Amino acid sequence: MLKSVNRKVALFLAAVAILFIFLSFQLPSYPYTEVDADIVPKGLGFLLLICSILLFFNNQEETEAERKKREIPRDELLMLLAVFGIILVYIFLLELIGFVIMTILFIFFTTWFLGYKKLISNLAVSVTFSLVIYLLFSYLLQINLPAGILPI
Amino acid sequence: MEAFQGLMSGFQIAFSLSGIIFIFIGVFVGTFIGMMPGLGPISAIAIMIPVTYNMDPALALVMMAGVYYGAIFGGSTSSILLNAPGVAGTVATSFDGYPMAQQGKAGKALAIAAISSFVGGTISVVLLMMFSPLLASVAISFGPAEYFALMLLGLTAISSLSEGSTIKAFISAILGFMVVTIGIDSQTGTARFTFGNANLLEGIDFLVIALGLFALAEVCMLIFNRKDTSVSDNKNLGSMKLSKNDIKEMAGPMGRQSFLGFIIGVLPGAGATIASFIAYITEKKIAKNPEEFGKGSIKGVAAPETANNAATSGAFVPLLSLGIPGSGTTAVLLGAFLVLGIQPGPLLVQDHPDIFWGIIASMYVGNLFLLILNLPLVPYISKVLRIPRPMLISLVIIFSLIGVYALSFNTFDLYLLLAFGVIGFLMRIFSFPAPPFILAFILGGMMEQALRQTMTISNGNLYIFFTKPIALSLIILSLLSILFPIIKNRIKKPVG
């Protein structure tokens, strides 16, 4: 089992290497230079290919700690995917709705979703944090975060 | 004499009102983030970079240095109290620090950690001050060939010294190098691997990589461990007072490990983590009663704590005088320099003496701050550990997103950040170390440029490396460092 995991990773990396080498050969050449832009990428591609072959044939045993790291319960993985989904929504709506509203919603909802059920303190933290960060960035650091629909 | 004047002008920056405030902020934030289990100095520095965008470079870098050693110190607090080191460099501290805490002597362990960190930090800053200008004066004659060889050594060393599979570490470094080739090539103007996407023409910003690969990926691991709140609510820290005998016992390890830790920190690839382990092992070897180690020995806390802080200052030597980071953390620190438009290297002392000496002077002040701030405040700061994990997770995610957004005001970079978060997570799951990736990403651009400059001088002939003794010996060293793990394995399991 453990061998096959490393082997699958190695095969994937070899595929990446071959794709990278292929793309490196597609790079247009520039006539006025001794060493063109494709040399380093080609070298890296071949290095990765060699290393993935070495990884494939490496029979180093996986340690107990390494195996443990890989074993993640299905629910937890779904949880992680859900958090990534929330982040995607946040990014998508950030410029439309604005930083303050989105951040309040994000912190409140994610914190609740991950299992913190005290709604009042959750709300207090998410509102205070979002406002403080917004004001800090706008006034102290002069970085304007998207105001969105709020008239601030 | 020149150095003395420089140091005095550095102290002027460090002791100005804004200097003190920013050192304080840096040390405090660093301690705070470093204390969070799972979040290390790389995340701490990366999260703080956006704050520096519009700041005065000298003050900003003084603050970032504070974040770095503050994070190392913060890590030791969670090592002692939770047996959950926030930082790899403080894992060795938990060997004896946690048993002490279990015996009700957490306060004492924290005091030992604070004092040995202070001693290690301060002695090594003196060494840093002496060695950096020296190394810079040697490095000033380096051409692209020497620089290329030096960076190659840094990369191979960090790969062969990282824990776990060496091949995986090398793959990680190669992938980091590949990612940095994305964008317009600076020498020929060729767009590489951009797939016609205009957002990729300028390449991927290092902050996207640092926050994705570290902060976000660390958050993913935190999500799995969110229920793990092993800190009890009313744990008594016990007295923080140390007796004369305790101090006598600490003196030996502190003295030795300050120097050893510093030297290890200077070496490419090795950093606070390796320094702290070596310190622990050597002190155990030379101790009169080695059986005490692991059961709450004072020396067992003092040694790694001295060494990791000494190594932290040591790591500044190649960063400041050569402009070449030797570890993942200093690589991110170099990124912070570059964001501010400062190129560290042999010319830094001449071109920006305020920054060079400001950082060094600030480290004296910062170490003092760590001591006086942390000794009395540690019991309160340790309450930070009780922040509910779900909230911590959402806040770190938001910090990472703001950091990247404030860089370019472009949501494309946020999607990239998320993608690198996934890559960083997968790397952790499959045991690929992330520090070689970030170091290769930071060094990659410079390495490619140096290599191509060298080869242009020689009309495309690699033979040029054999005509330069310094470059050649560095390349031989890098080859040896690749072979090192293979030899080590052979010795470990003799093939019968």
The pLDDT tens digits of the residues spanning A66-111 come to: 777 777 888 889 999 999 999 999 999 999 999 999 999 999 999 9
Q: What angle do CA B320, B322, B326 make, to 5 degrees?
A: 80
How far off is chain A from B459, nearest CA to CA, in Å? 6
Sign (positive/negative) of CA torsion A50, A53, A59, A64? positive
* Residue A61 Ramachandran class (φ > 0 left, ψ -120 to 50 alpha, else beta): beta
Q: How confident is the model at residue B492 (pLDDT cuts 50, 70, 90)?
A: low
| Residue pLDDT, tens place only, B456-465 | 888 877 888 8
**pLDDT (0 to 100) of residue B199:** 86
| Residue pLDDT, tens place only, B211-226 | 999 999 988 888 887 7
How far off is chain A from B259, nearest CA to CA, in Å? 33
A110 vs B394: CB contact, 8 Å cut-off? Answer: yes
A44 vs B177: CB contact, 8 Å cut-off? Answer: yes
Across B253-393, the runs of DSSP E, i.e. the strands, are none
User: In chain B, which residues have their Cβ closer than 8 Å to the Cβ of A83?
Assistant: 223, 393, 397
> Over the range B317-345, which residues count as b (16 or more CB within 10 Å of their CB) and which as e?
bbbbbbbbbbbbbbbbbbbbbebbebebb
Please give the share of chain B, as a percent, with pLDDT higher than 70: 95
C-beta separation of B23 from B68 below 8 A: no
d(CA B119, CA B117): 6
Q: Where is average pLDDT lowest: A44-48, B288-292, B306-310?
A: B288-292
**pLDDT (0 to 100) of residue B495:** 41
A110 vs B397: CB contact, 8 Å cut-off? Answer: yes
Residue from the list A58, A106, A112 with its beta carbon closest to the beta carbon of B167:
A58
* Residue B200 Ramachandran class (φ > 0 left, ψ -120 to 50 alpha, else beta): alpha
Is the confidence at residue B482, as pLDDT, over 80?
A: yes
Domain ranges of chain B: 2-229+242-492
A110 vs B390: CB contact, 8 Å cut-off? Answer: yes
Q: What is the rounded (10 degree) CA torsion for A90, A91, A92, A97?
A: 60
B167 vs A37: CB contact, 8 Å cut-off? Answer: no
B223 vs A103: CB contact, 8 Å cut-off? Answer: no
How far off is chain B from A26, nearest CA to CA, in Å? 10
**pLDDT (0 to 100) of residue B262:** 93
How far off is chain A from B387, nearest CA to CA, in Å? 11
d(CA B119, CA B254): 7
**pLDDT (0 to 100) of residue B230:** 53
The burial of A13, by beta-carbon neighbours within 10 Å (0-12 exposed, 13-18 middle, 19 or more buried), is given as buried
Beta-bridge partners for B184: B191
**pLDDT (0 to 100) of residue B231:** 53
A66: nearest CA in chain B?
B431
User: In chain B, which residues have their Cβ closer than 8 Å to the Cβ of A103?
Assistant: 398
Q: Higher model confidence: residue B412 or residue B495?
A: B412
Q: How confident is the model at residue B86 (pLDDT cuts 50, 70, 90)?
A: low
C-beta separation of B87 from B72 below 8 A: yes
Is the confidence at residue B182, as pLDDT, over 90?
A: yes
**pLDDT (0 to 100) of residue B491:** 64
d(CA B354, CA B17): 16
B216: nearest CA in chain A?
A84
Residue from the list A30, A91, A142 with its beta carbon closest to the beta carbon of B188:
A30
Is the confidence at residue A1, as pLDDT, over 90?
A: no
What 3-state DSSP class applies to A19? helix
A72: nearest CA in chain B?
B224
The burial of B472, by beta-carbon neighbours within 10 Å (0-12 exposed, 13-18 middle, 19 or more buried), is given as middle
How far off is chain A from B441, nearest CA to CA, in Å? 13
**pLDDT (0 to 100) of residue B234:** 44
Averaged pLDDT, A122-149: 87
The tokens describing B263, both together, are 């030297």
How far off is chain B from A150, nearest CA to CA, in Å? 18
Range of B174-178, B318-322, B481-485 with top mean pLDDT: B174-178
Q: How confident is the model at residue B407 (pLDDT cuts 50, 70, 90)?
A: confident
A80 vs B401: CB contact, 8 Å cut-off? Answer: no
The burial of A93, by beta-carbon neighbours within 10 Å (0-12 exposed, 13-18 middle, 19 or more buried), is given as middle
Domain ranges of chain A: 2-70, 74-140
B402 vs A95: CB contact, 8 Å cut-off? Answer: no
B220: nearest CA in chain A?
A80
B178 vs A110: CB contact, 8 Å cut-off? Answer: no
Give the CA diameter of chain B.
Answer: 70
A70 vs B168: CB contact, 8 Å cut-off? Answer: no
A128: nearest CA in chain B?
B395
User: In chain A, which residues have their Cβ closer than 8 Å to the Cβ of B429?
Assistant: 69-70, 72
The burial of B194, by beta-carbon neighbours within 10 Å (0-12 exposed, 13-18 middle, 19 or more buried), is given as middle
d(CA B475, CA B450): 14
Q: Where is average pLDDT lowest: A9-18, B226-235, B241-250, B418-427?
A: B226-235
Q: Higher model confidence: residue B160 or residue A49?
A: A49
B192 vs A87: CB contact, 8 Å cut-off? Answer: no
A vs B, Cβ pairs < 8 A, gives: 156
User: In chain A, which residues have their Cβ closer than 8 Å to the Cβ of B211?
Assistant: none
d(CA B212, CA B202): 18
What 3-state DSSP class applies to B187? coil
The tokens describing A21, both together, are 């080498």
User: In chain A, which residues have their Cβ closer than 8 Å to the Cβ of B189?
Assistant: 30
**pLDDT (0 to 100) of residue B416:** 95
| Residue pLDDT, tens place only, B346-355 | 888 888 888 8
